[in-house]
Structure 1
Amino acid sequence: MGHAEPHTAICWVSRVQRELKHAGLRPTRQRLLLASLLFRGGDRHVTAEALHLEAERLGISVSLATVYNTLHQFTEAGLLRALAVEATKAYFDTNVSDHHHFFIEGENRIVDIPEGVVVGEVPPPDGMEIVNIDVVIRIRPKRDALRG
C-alpha cells in the first residue's frame, strides 16, 4: 500500500463511509479498515482467511468471525460478489460486474476471464429471470508442461 497524500486519504475514507451508509451499513472502524484493504488496490479475489491474515500483518486487530461477517454483509449490500469455487472455501470479488473466472487448481487462485469473452447464456424457466451468471472454469497446467 503506497503512501497517499493526507487529502487523498481523507477523500478515500469519506467515499467509503458514504458507500457503506448508502448500502445500509454503519461505517464502523472495523468495516472501514476491512473496506480499505479490499477496495484500495483495484479488483481483487479474496478469501476471509487471506483478508484476516493481511489485516493481522498490518496490525489490525479483527477476529476471523468479524471478517467473515463483514464480507457477507458487504456481499448482501452489493459491494462484493461471492464466488462458490470449492465446498470448503468462499472467494469474494471486489468487481461486482457480470464477468467470468478461471480457477487455477493447485494455486487456489482466481483470475478474471477477459471482458468480451461470452459464455453461453441458458434461458431461465418460465416466470424466472437471470440475476447473475457465475461461470468458473477450472484450469491447471497441461500435464506435458509439468514433465518438461
Structure 2
Amino acid sequence: MTSERSTYATDWLARAGLRPTRQRVALAELLIGDGQHRHVTAESLFEAARQTGAAVSLATVYNTLRAFCEAGVLNEITVDGSKSYFDTNTHDHPHFFWEDDGRLSDAPADQLEIARLPDAPEGAEIAAVDVVIRLRRKS
C-alpha cells in the first residue's frame, strides 16, 4: 500500500485511540485507506488482506473488527441474525440488503421517514435504530 494510505489509516486509528499495530494498520488501509466508505464482512476483509500479502489470520480480522466497533469507527449491521457486515460510515443511515448476492449498500437517508418509534420499556433507552431494506431482483 502507498504511504499516503498508511498515514491515513494510522491517523484514523490514532483518532479512535487505537494502537497502530501492523495488523490494524493493514486492515485499516483496506477499510478506509482511499477515503471511501465500504461495507465488508470479516471474510471479505480477510480475503482482501490475503490478496495484498498482509499476514493476518481470520481470527485477527474478527478481533480487529470488534475493536474498531468498540472504538466507534465502524458500525456492525447484522442481517438474518447471523451475517454481520461492517460499515465505515458511522453516521445513522439505512441500508439495502441485496438478497441475490448477499451485498449491503447504503440507501438514501433523505428518502426515509420514520414517523414514530414505540416507547422503550421502563429502565431502557433506545440506543439506535437500524433500517435494512431487503431487495431481490425482479424475475
Aligned to 1:59: 53
* Structure 1 stretch displaced more, 65-74 or 119-128: 119-128
3-state secondary structure, aligned to 1:116: helix
Give, as a single letter, the amino acid of the residue that structure 2 aligns with 1:117.
Q
3-state secondary structure, aligned to 1:91: strand
Query: 1:128 deviation in Å?
Result: 4.0
CA distance in 1, matches of 2:81, 2:40: 15
Query: 1:60 deviation in Å?
Result: 0.9
Give, as a single letter, the amino acid of the residue that structure 2 aligns with 1:104.
W
- 2:39/2:87 contact within 8 Å kept: yes
Give, as a single letter, the amino acid of the residue that structure 1 aligns with 2:137.
P
Give, as a single letter, the amino acid of the residue that structure 2 aligns with 1:22.
R
Aligned to 1:117: 111
Is structure 2 residue 127 aligned with structure 1 residue 131?
A: yes
CA distance in 2, matches of 1:106, 1:18: 37
Aligned to 2:13: 20
Residues 1-148 of structure 1 mapped to structure 2, 5 A cutoff: 9=4, 12-41=5-34, 42-120=36-114, 121-125=116-120, 126=122, 128-142=124-138, 146=139
> Percentage identity across aligned positions?
49
Measured against aligned partners, the alpha-carbon deviations of 1:59-94 in whole angstroms (never above 9, x if no partner) come to: 111000000000010011000000011333210001
Change (3 A) 1:108 1:116: same
CA distance in 2, matches of 1:56, 1:16: 18
Give, as a single letter, the amino acid of the residue that structure 1 aligns with 2:74.
L
3-state secondary structure, aligned to 2:96: strand
Runs (5+) with no aligned partner, structure 1: none
Which of structure 1's runs of 4+ aligned residues deviate more than 4 A?
none
When normalised by structure 2's length, the TM-score is 0.87
When normalised by structure 1's length, the TM-score is 0.82
Query: 1:133 deviation in Å?
Result: 1.5
